[in-house]
Structure 1
Amino acid sequence: MMNMRYLYQTAASLTIATTVLLGTAESATAASLVSTPSINSPASSTNDKLARKLQQTLDKTVKDNRITGATVGIIGTQKTWFGASGVSSLETKTAMRPQDRFPIGSTTKPFTAVTVLKLAEEGKLSLEDTLDKWLPASILDNIPDSKSITIRQLLNGTSGIYDILYGDDSPLQQEIPKNPTKQWTPEELVAYAYGKPRFAEELQGITCTPKYCYPNTGMILAGMIIEKATGSTFADVLRSRILNPLGMNNTFFAAQEQIPDGYVNGYLDYDNNGTLDNVTGVNLSFASTAGGIVSNTQDLTRFATALFGGELLSADSLNQMLDFQDIGVGDSLKYGLGLVSTEFEGIGKAWGHNGSVTGYGSQWWYFPDLGITYVDLQNQQPASDILSGILKSLLKEQSKPVPEPSAIAGLIMLGAAGIVLKRKRIFTQK
């Protein structure tokens, strides 16, 4: 899941010299958004030509940078491309496929936020409910000002609740490698925030500012509220409100669901000896509703088209999700309800999220002015810049007389190239 060091790197890539997070403050109704086609829409011959070029460039980038494996998905107003390169298993050398599944880390956060908003539409809770309406005294008594913190503040980070997954030195991050297969409960996880001050000074410039703390802990508490409000598991609520209606058959909440045929292997240099280690066995329950979903590029692009196309939420709910807050790092990076807003130079604004979880990296962006969704998933940590090579290829194509969709696709790559994980350490989430 995204942390402030990563956010600093993201901001720096956008010429923002600061240490936190993301975008321009504005709202939009669903009616104003550009809808995108089904992922099964047929590609034109022009798109076939572009697809071949994109695949060739992706293959070369993966090879040249010694990337284990990656999948990429792009959906525009008329064109669609899904590609894969590298391997899903270093041990068996199995080729990566576009439909392969990955843990997606903090790209989970928009799912948790949308689930809360769906329940608010149903009248089961309100974003203005304070924590004491839903959480037990055993939690409330250990989190400062808990009775004045709202669900809305949990989702947008303005609660200031201590980030239990703030970095490699956090007590929880230290515990995970010692017991990687442990099945964590949400109660065990949030206990790492007990007694910690809001907007903790020790996390300033890492995951907090005086206005904001990255909402890992907040999203876990939101997941607990979802379960209390419905009397069901988070997995069941997510499936009934989002996954099943959208036909997202390759998306699972790993802490509570069996995943048929599993997901691709994940790798990182666990012992810093220069060799990637297989860390697929790490139990994803430690990421909970802040980062514990498994999905693929097809399902993630489907989620984006439904969310930003007005299919999933009412216009009012979507506007609330897109109410991006000043988190103390300038106007270019802001945070909404489980969503990042950022500005890509030469392209415009993007809404979405990125994430990492042990051995994996993800990013998921929607460009509202272009009506384009971009997703990439990688099975190693830190993730690599798979898009710079594609960018070079597309820039060359733009110097030739190519159709407009190709030029637009090139712009997507230009924007996405600026947001790539550069972290070295292992169990850190973003």
Structure 2
Amino acid sequence: MRIFLRAVFIGLLLAAVLLAAGCGSTDTSTSPSLGLDIEARIDQLVNNAMSFSNIPGVIVGVWVPGQGSYEKAYGMADIETGEPMQTSHRVRIASITKTYVATVVLQLVDEERLSLDQTIEEFLPQIPDARIITIRQLLNHSSGIYDYEDQAFIEEVAENPLKSWKPEELIALGISRSGNFPPGSSSAYSNTNYIALGMIVQQITGSRLEDEIKNRIIEPLDLFNTDFPAGPDMTGQYSHGYMDSGTSGELRDITRMDMSWDWAAGGMTSNLNDLKVWAEALGAGRLISQAMQNERLIWMSMPEFGNVASYGLGILKIGPLIGHTGADPGYNSAMYYLPEKEAAIVVLFNYCSGIDIVDVTSLGIGKALFPDVSLPF
């Protein structure tokens, strides 16, 4: 789903969460080694964000080599039963999925089975301008292809969450509208790009995208709580996900959802510890060559991000932080890595609103941890 980060909201929302009244938290796993002052500031940011946006549950993890770590769960994983949030709970990670898909694509380039600058015509000739759109342009959202996940589509998904979608249907939706701009002339975040990449991976390998991610990333890194679930049900120990019901103050449980509608653009699940491992591997380029990591970290500005963020090959950059965020009905997530400190920050919500306050919370945590690091607020 689209990243909701907007420069105009950063300062306003950060001020709001810092000034709002705090709410209670449930500590299910803490490692009090960052210092009580920093931990108290993290708690304040999270509790006030929960109060500000009516978020049922939050999971936070911070890991700073040589300084310490902090893992904590707040609130409820299941409103109906009152089950408390646990740091081990899985959530839907939405667009963080793109970091896995992009890594598989870069591995295929390393294996000389694909080239970043080859066009996609042989794989997806039905896409307009396929003869000039490149793999690189799909990865960094400069293809110009329209994003099928517009507001009307998201409303349809929320109304019929168990519907199964085929990738071909999603591509058809994306190309049913005129392109945003000529390929390579600008950039605009489009989930259609990653549906296309998933289909290309499957054509090249002859395997399901889910299996390629499992064999190339999940198993080598021992990500035992990361999955690409089939059908509407999550596996393992998981948190329920919630969205506004349309009735004032009430939340709708939207945990059961067939994620085929988001697939390669955002269909995966994971948990706190696995995302910590993945943030570090992604930031260090562990599963690809140095040449491919250099390509991954070539940044392109996006008009929709203003001066706040830029995008590489399946990776987001905000100030010195690199990683990705995700937002789907029921869940909101942020995963960042700070290369100069080799530090990781992960924030997971079991609620998603129209304003991506998870970004504000994670950036606020970054500011609390590293006051000397320049962040865009």
SS at match of 2:121: helix
> Relative CO higher for 1 or 2, CA cutoff 8 Å, sep ≥ 6?
1
1:67 corresponds to 2:79: no
Q: How does 1:122-201 map to 2 (within 5 A)?
A: 122-135=111-124, 140-141=125-126, 143-166=127-150, 168-169=151-152, 172-199=153-180
1:13 corresponds to 2:10: yes
Note the alpha carbon deviations across 1:219-263, whole angstroms, 9 max, x for none. 010001111111111111001111110010111113479753352
- The CA distance in 1 between the partners of 2:181 and 2:78, in whole Å, is 40
Note the alpha carbon deviations across 1:359-411, whole angstroms, 9 max, x for none. 1101111122332211100001217747979999x9xxxxxxxxxxx997254
Query: Percent identity among equivalent residues?
Result: 31
SS at match of 1:227: helix
Q: How does 1:251-400 map to 2 (within 5 A)?
A: 251-255=226-230, 259-261=234-236, 263-328=238-303, 332-343=308-319, 349-382=320-353, 385=357
Residue 156 of structure 2 aligns to which amino acid in structure 1?
Answer: E
The change in CA–CA distance for 1:261 and 1:331 in structure 2 (over 3 A counts) is closer
The answer as to whether partners of 1:220 and 1:290 remain within 8 angstroms in 2 is: yes
The change in CA–CA distance for 1:145 and 1:314 in structure 2 (over 3 A counts) is same
- The CA distance in 2 between the partners of 1:337 and 1:181, in whole Å, is 31
Aligned to 1:421: none
Aligned to 1:409: 369
- The CA distance in 1 between the partners of 2:181 and 2:243, in whole Å, is 30
The answer as to whether partners of 1:106 and 1:353 remain within 8 angstroms in 2 is: yes
The answer as to whether partners of 2:218 and 2:226 remain within 8 angstroms in 1 is: yes
Per the normalisation by structure 2, the TM-score is: 0.83
Aligned to 2:205: 230
How far off is 1:273 after superposition?
3.4
1:91 corresponds to 2:67: no
Residue 111 of structure 1 aligns to which amino acid in structure 2?
Answer: Y
- Which stretches in structure 2 are left out of the alignment for 5+ residues? 13-29
The change in CA–CA distance for 1:148 and 1:390 in structure 2 (over 3 A counts) is closer
The change in CA–CA distance for 1:197 and 1:295 in structure 2 (over 3 A counts) is same
How far off is 1:318 after superposition?
0.6
- The CA distance in 2 between the partners of 1:311 and 1:227, in whole Å, is 23
Aligned to 1:423: none
RMSD: 3.3
The answer as to whether partners of 2:2 and 2:149 remain within 8 angstroms in 1 is: no
Aligned to 1:25: none
- Which stretches in structure 1 are left out of the alignment for 5+ residues? 16-41, 202-207, 344-348, 395-405, 419-430
Note the alpha carbon deviations across 1:327-374, whole angstroms, 9 max, x for none. 34665532111111222xxxxx21111110011101111122332211
Question: How many equivalent residue pairs?
Answer: 356
The change in CA–CA distance for 1:88 and 1:162 in structure 2 (over 3 A counts) is same
Note the alpha carbon deviations across 1:137-167, whole angstroms, 9 max, x for none. xxx23x221121111111101111111113x
SS at match of 2:346: strand
Residue 333 of structure 1 aligns to which amino acid in structure 2?
Answer: A
How far off is 1:128 after superposition?
2.1
The answer as to whether partners of 1:366 and 1:373 remain within 8 angstroms in 2 is: yes
Aligned to 1:117: 106
How far off is 1:126 after superposition?
1.7
- The CA distance in 2 between the partners of 1:88 and 1:376, in whole Å, is 15
How far off is 1:323 after superposition?
0.7
The change in CA–CA distance for 1:174 and 1:268 in structure 2 (over 3 A counts) is closer
Aligned to 1:77: 65
The change in CA–CA distance for 1:183 and 1:296 in structure 2 (over 3 A counts) is same
- The CA distance in 2 between the partners of 1:413 and 1:260, in whole Å, is 38
- The CA distance in 2 between the partners of 1:150 and 1:387, in whole Å, is 30
Per the normalisation by structure 1, the TM-score is: 0.74
1:239 corresponds to 2:214: yes
- The CA distance in 2 between the partners of 1:174 and 1:363, in whole Å, is 23
Note the alpha carbon deviations across 1:196-241, whole angstroms, 9 max, x for none. 222169xxxxxx9961121300001000111111111111100111
- The CA distance in 2 between the partners of 1:123 and 1:91, in whole Å, is 51
- The CA distance in 2 between the partners of 1:327 and 1:391, in whole Å, is 19
Q: Report the more deviating stretch, 184-193 or 55-64.
A: 55-64
The answer as to whether partners of 1:342 and 1:351 remain within 8 angstroms in 2 is: yes
Residue 301 of structure 1 aligns to which amino acid in structure 2?
Answer: K
Residue 81 of structure 2 aligns to which amino acid in structure 1?
Answer: T
Q: Report the more deviating stretch, 327-336 or 209-218.
A: 327-336
Note the alpha carbon deviations across 1:71-102, whole angstroms, 9 max, x for none. 01111122222111111000111010111111
How far off is 1:12 after superposition?
4.8
The change in CA–CA distance for 1:216 and 1:293 in structure 2 (over 3 A counts) is same
- The CA distance in 2 between the partners of 1:13 and 1:324, in whole Å, is 21
SS at match of 1:253: coil
